[in-house]
Amino acid sequence: MVVGVLVEISNQNVDRVFEYHVSEEYTSQMKVGIRVLVPFGKMELEGFVLEIKEKAETEHALKDILGVVDSTIVLNSELLELGKWMKEKTISTLISCYQVMLPKALKAKNGSNISIQFDTYYRLNENCSLEGLNSSQKKIVDLVLEKEIVSRKELLGISSSSLKTLLRKNILIEEKKEHYRLVYKEQDFVKKTLTPMQEKVVDSVIHGEVKPYLLYGVTGSGKTEVYMEMIDFYLQQGKTSIVLVPEISLTPQMVQRFRERFGDRIAALHSALSDGEKYDEWRRICRGEASIVIGARSAIFAPLENIGIIIIDEEHSDSYKQSDPAPRYHAKDVAIERSHYHHCPVVMGSATPSLEAMARAQKGVYSYLELPERVNGKGLPEVEIVDMNVAMKKSRGHFSPTLLSQIEDRLGKKEQVILLLNRRGYSSFVTCKNCGYTFKCPHCDISLTYHKSSNTLRCHYCGYGEKVYTKCPSCGENSLNNLGVGTQKIEEELSEIFPTARILRMDYDTTSRKGMHEEMIASFQRQEYDILLGTQMVAKGLDFSQVTLVGVINADTSLNIPDFRSSENTFSLLCQVAGRSGRAEKKGSVVIQTFNPDHYAIRLVQKQDYPAFYETEMNLRKQLKYPPYYYLCSIRISGKDALLLFDEAMKIKRSLERNLENVIILGPNSGNLFRINNIFRYHILIKYRKEDALYEILPKIMDHYKTNPKIKVDIDFNPSQMM
């Protein structure tokens, strides 16, 4: 027997199947989709079996496989074909497409320290004699007789020598049972009655065409209840479901609500889990013990069979697009491809749909559904725009009088407040007032952010950190100044202004420890804190009944990013965070502080008028030839020699110009960040409407540079970030 093996090296030079001979001892274990250990040059590597055949295609002697890694298939036939589709669509190596589908425990060099955990149990041998037992042994036997089966934990404090004697005499039989690291507690569930609008949406999907659906629902319109009702329908048909959420911080509340309804049929897959927990959840899915998978981007690869529906919550989020490393896929594209295989609908929901999704809905590519009202019958919260050009003169710290008075009012009423500042750290950068020196990362073209809690300057791109100086290292003067503002600084100001307020800061720095997202959300839900201050992770999906005020410290943070999507991202973020206010019985308010009160993205948030924003932004996109009117493809040329990079980037551009028609080619340019971690980067951007020729020329360009150690070329179709 001969097998074709794809080895686990993500390198274009070896991105193909290699043939190996299978000795007789392994023949019965061979299956397409398992991993085997093979000799590869001077190395021993793991690889996926993609082919099984009787004879080799070459006349040369084949090497034998060294062993079988898996007893069961880790990549089923659907996922194997999905990987090939991803390879073509993202121009990536096939092995990288397969690796992204699997938990770390199933990846070469990573899984050796991740073990399956077992509990030990004891039961009585029915054919044994119980004569001649001493008191200690009899105590153990009586306990086993009473409970039929006893765990090792229940025998703590009992003589271990007596236990060993009972096992040696075959009076007790030892059994090992696997246990999962995540424990799902039973939850009380009260089914909510759907509104007529919600019922209409559910019926449209479960009795409608099998195709993608776009669900536009205002914040608080009950999209999650709609999702659960759809899933329940497909569960009763014996089918499974995938639910994607964009942020780790959204997952705890979403999973909690789903567990209340569906119990241990839920499996969670997201980066907040430990590697062992992910491995356990993945195996529960493979075994059919979980029929609903909830998680972030990579959960789209859950190895479910017979999928009935795929749901993508907050579909507008750019977190569904993998930027680095390859494969640079979009979870929505993968979801739609999987839906073709399973012949199931894909439901994409959002209060601020992406322009691309709404354009497809208007063209009929997606079916359009809407929930235009909140389930409690109340209107959206009132939004007040504060012009900081005027209010700054009377502000206290970074708080306008308007926002301060509103916070004070809510604290007096024992209600809760959410404050958004989409920038972590204490200050954006540290500079010298005397000579203008600014602390910058020595490895990246970016200023260092000051973190007061650790008293360090840090780069948020490569992780570089250094101590804080008391004097300027350039001129020696004691004239250093913190400019800009981060969540740490706002937390300090809040504590000074409202000394009795209980403040909870939620950003990357405070949630890096495992379980902190869930712990913080739960504590705020229990009203142990008055004010939740955070970055964009507090803006979406969270549901707190006592929050009646949302404040945005600086609405211009995302507006000033040099990206054609900056207005869309700003509008979306502000509408989403505004939707956290007044979600229950009490009326909600929103205060947005900005230096650009007349910008249409800010102005239309006040009315929360998505249709008007869509029309305005679409007109601009059409003039500038950006999505959804044009597709984009980014080519990144990176390396350590900036001059060499530019020369090669120009060669690539000339090759594109010779081989492509009816496209717009921009660059090469150095982008917003020319250097990250001592690697220089040039970018070429292609705007196009038809993609056939691109998929012919780009693989050739990749192939040309695959053996060049000084030049790395990366392709990204429809990039989420313009760097």
Q: Specify the CATH number for the domain of residue 125.
A: 1.10.10.10
Please state, rounded to an integer, the average pLDDT across all residues of the chain.
91
> For position 423, what pLDDT does the model report?
81
Whether 495 and 591 map to the same domain: the answer is yes
130 and 166 share a domain? Answer: yes
Same domain? 682 vs 703: yes
CATH of the domain at 588: 3.40.50.300
Q: Which of 111-125, 175-189, 459-473, 538-552 has the lowest mean pLDDT?
A: 175-189
The answer to whether the beta carbons of residues 533 and 421 sit under 8 Å apart is yes
Q: Give the CB-side neighbour count of residue 156, counting CA atoms within 13 A.
A: 2
Q: Does 188 map to a domain?
A: no
How crowded is residue 102: how many other Cβ atoms within 10 Å of its Cβ? Answer: 22
In a domain, 155, yes or no: yes
The tens digit of pLDDT for each residue in 352-407 reads: 999 999 999 999 999 999 999 998 888 899 999 999 999 999 999 999 999 999 99
Question: Can you give the pLDDT at residue 181?
Answer: 80
Which of the residue ranges 298-302, 384-388, 453-457 would you say has the lowest mean pLDDT? 453-457
Does the pLDDT at position 420 exceed 90?
yes
pLDDT at 668: 96
Rg value, the chain, Cα:
29
Is 615 in the same domain as 497?
Answer: yes
Q: Cα dist. 650→340, 534, 644, 696, 710 in Å?
A: 40, 43, 10, 19, 16
Domain boundary among 569, 599, 621: 621
**pLDDT, tens digit, for every residue of 76-125?**
999 999 999 999 999 999 999 999 999 988 876 655 567 788 888 899 99
pLDDT at residue 141, rounded to an integer: 87
Q: Do 613 and 665 belong to one domain?
A: no
pLDDT of residue 718: 93
pLDDT tens per residue across span 631-676: 999 999 999 999 999 999 999 999 999 999 999 999 999 977 899 9
In a domain, 433, yes or no: no
What is the number of structural domains in the chain? Answer: 5
User: Does residue 104 sit in the same domain as residue 229?
Assistant: no
State whether 206 and 302 are in the same domain.
yes
% of the chain residues with pLDDT over 90: 65
DSSP helix/strand/coil, 119: strand
CATH code assigned at 59: 3.40.1440.60
Is the pLDDT reported for residue 483 higher than 80? no
Give the model's pLDDT for residue 110.
Answer: 55
435 to 367, 441, 456: CA distances (angstroms): 59, 18, 22
Q: Are residues 211 and 358 in the same domain?
A: yes
Specify if 723 maps to a domain: no
pLDDT at 30: 96
Question: Are 653 and 573 members of one domain?
Answer: no
What pLDDT does 529 receive?
A: 97
User: For 159-203, what is each residue's pLDDT tens digit?
Assistant: 788 888 999 889 999 998 888 887 766 666 677 889 999 999 999
Domain that holds residue 652: 631-717
With cut-offs at 50, 70 and 90, classify the pLDDT of residue 251. Answer: low
CB-based contacts of 566, cutoff 8 Å, min separation 6? 558, 559, 560
Provide the pLDDT confidence category of residue 232 given band limits of 50, 70 and 90: very high
d(CA 249, CA 568): 22
d(CA 473, CA 470): 9
C-alpha–C-alpha distance, residues 552 and 594, integer Å: 8
pLDDT of 185 reads 66
Q: Which pLDDT belongs to residue 609?
A: 94
The answer to whether 684 touches 649, Cβ cutoff 8 Å, is yes
In a domain, 406, yes or no: yes
| Domain end marker among 621, 639, 659 | 621
pLDDT tens readout for residues 46-71 = 999 999 999 888 888 899 999 999 98
At 21 the pLDDT is 96
- Is 479 within the bounds of a domain? no
Task: Report the percentage of the chain scoring pLDDT > 70.
Answer: 97
Residues 123 and 67 grouped into a single domain: no
Q: Which amino acid, one-letter code, is at 158?
A: I
Q: What is the CATH classification number for the domain harbouring 646?
A: 3.30.70.600
**Would you say residue 440 lies in a domain?**
no
Domain boundary pick from 84, 113, 142? 113
Paired tokens of 715: 């392709």
- HSE of 533 in the Cβ direction (CA atoms, 13 Å)? 25
Q: Are residues 67 and 6 in the same domain?
A: yes
Predicted confidence band of residue 336 (pLDDT cuts 50, 70, 90) = very high
Residue 460 is classified by DSSP as T
Q: Is the pLDDT of residue 543 over 80?
A: yes
Q: Which residue has the higher pLDDT, 250 or 197?
A: 197
Given the structure tokens 């063209």, which residue do they identify?
A: 363
Same domain flag for 252 and 286:
yes
**512 within a domain of the structure (yes/no):** yes
265 φ, ψ (degrees, to nearest 5) = -75, -5
In the structure encoding, which two tokens stand for residue 536, read together?
A: 């964009």
